[in-house]
Amino acid sequence: MKLVGEHLHWSVHGRKLLADVSLAIEPGETFGLIGPNGSGKTTLLRLLAGLRKPRQGRVLLNDRSLIGMHQREIAQSIALVEQQAETTERLTVRQAVELGRTPFLSALRQWSDRDESIVSQALTDVDMLHFADRLWHTLSGGERQRVHIARALAQQPKILLLDEPTNHLDVHHQLSILTLVRQLPMTVVIALHDLNQAMDCDRLAAMEGGRLVALGTPSEVLTTERLRRTFGVQADIIDDPVDGSRIMRFRHPL
Ligand SMILES: Nc1ncnc2c1ncn2[C@@H]1O[C@H](COP(=O)(O)OP(=O)(O)OP(=O)(O)O)[C@@H](O)[C@H]1O
């Protein structure tokens, strides 16, 4: 499924938070969004997920505008894992993940064994099956993050939008979530702060002050000049002695 943003604008109280952002996410690709704090990554993801209506411009899912599509229909194709999703309800981990199946249930389509196994698989994928009966509010930040990802996986979306999914995770779970994301048979748009992790995306878009300032392959976007201008850091690019891949080291500019 192709997801396209055309000339997207978003503002709050006259303050422009997104200005004229256009991008086309190709089916099956892992597309990274990078940019400093407050550059508009979350705002863009929320527009792409249909949670916010652009002030100007439009979001197209396979050439259909999200405006005019029902939330349930959007949710059958697009899942968003937000940075700080909370729930006030007293839910177990399994119940939280079961919510991912909601867009597919109706009076005619009741909960089935298939839904049950999709939920168990999603919990296994994020290494949380053993916590299935734990109450959500007793989980640590990283465990909650993994449950959110499981909820989105249970939704079996065609397009998965992830807002800094490795934020709260220990290094082991960062690697396993990123490996899982890369293997998923779906289109992924992922906002990342770790630029070395961003190197593994198929393409990257760099945001700055609500604008898209660079778009291309990781080596086209993550140039020393871009890192200096957009992030204000001096980057040294070195080769990994193990596999020859690019690694970036960052310093304050001299
Ligand atoms: N409802 C709102 N009212 C006012 N300002 C807002 C609102 N939502 C977002 N902003 C501002 O819009 C800008 C972009 O925010 P956004 O969360 O999209 O950035 P981000 O790139 O995801 O940042 P981070 O890397 O810190 O998560 C920020 O300056 C933020 O303070």
- Greatest mean pLDDT among 26-35, 142-151, 175-184: 26-35
pLDDT band at 182 (very low <50, low <70, confident <90, very high): confident
| Nearest alpha carbon, ligand 1 atom 7 | 12
pLDDT of residue 123: 96
Lowest model confidence (mean pLDDT) among 60-74, 111-125, 235-249: 235-249
- Specify the ligand 1 atom closest to the Cα of 83: 27
pLDDT band at 253 (very low <50, low <70, confident <90, very high): confident
Does 89 have pLDDT greater than 80? no
- Specify the ligand 1 atom closest to the Cα of 210: 14
Distance CA 124, CA 200 (A): 24
Distance between Cα 41 and ligand 1 center (Å): 8
pLDDT of residue 155: 96
pLDDT of residue 125: 92
- Structural domain spans, the chain: 86-156
80 burial class (0-12, 13-18, 19+ CB within 10 angstroms)?
A: buried
231/85: higher pLDDT: 231
Q: What is the mean pLDDT of residues 19-43?
A: 96
pLDDT of residue 109: 85
Minimal CA–CA distance to 92: which of 165, 144, 155, 141?
144
Distance between Cα 46 and ligand 1 center (Å): 11
| Percent of the chain predicted with pLDDT > 90 | 76
pLDDT band at 65 (very low <50, low <70, confident <90, very high): very high
CA distances from 59 to 51, 176, 195 (A): 11, 31, 27
Does 228 have pLDDT greater than 80? yes
DSSP-assigned beta bridge partners for residue 1: none
| Nearest alpha carbon, ligand 1 atom 12 | 17
> Which value does ipTM take for this structure?
0.96
pLDDT of residue 90: 86
Does 64 have pLDDT greater than 90? yes
Listed in sequence order, the DSSP H helices in the chain are: 41-48, 71-75, 93-98, 113-125, 141-154, 171-183, 195-198, 218-221, 224-231
Residues with CB under 6 A from ligand 1: 12, 17, 35, 37-43
Distance CA 217, CA 220 (A): 5
Distance between Cα 135 and ligand 1 center (Å): 30
Distance between Cα 105 and ligand 1 center (Å): 34
> Which string of DSSP letters, residue by residue, matches 3-20?
EEEEEEEEEETTEEEEEE
- Specify the ligand 1 atom closest to the Cα of 46: 18
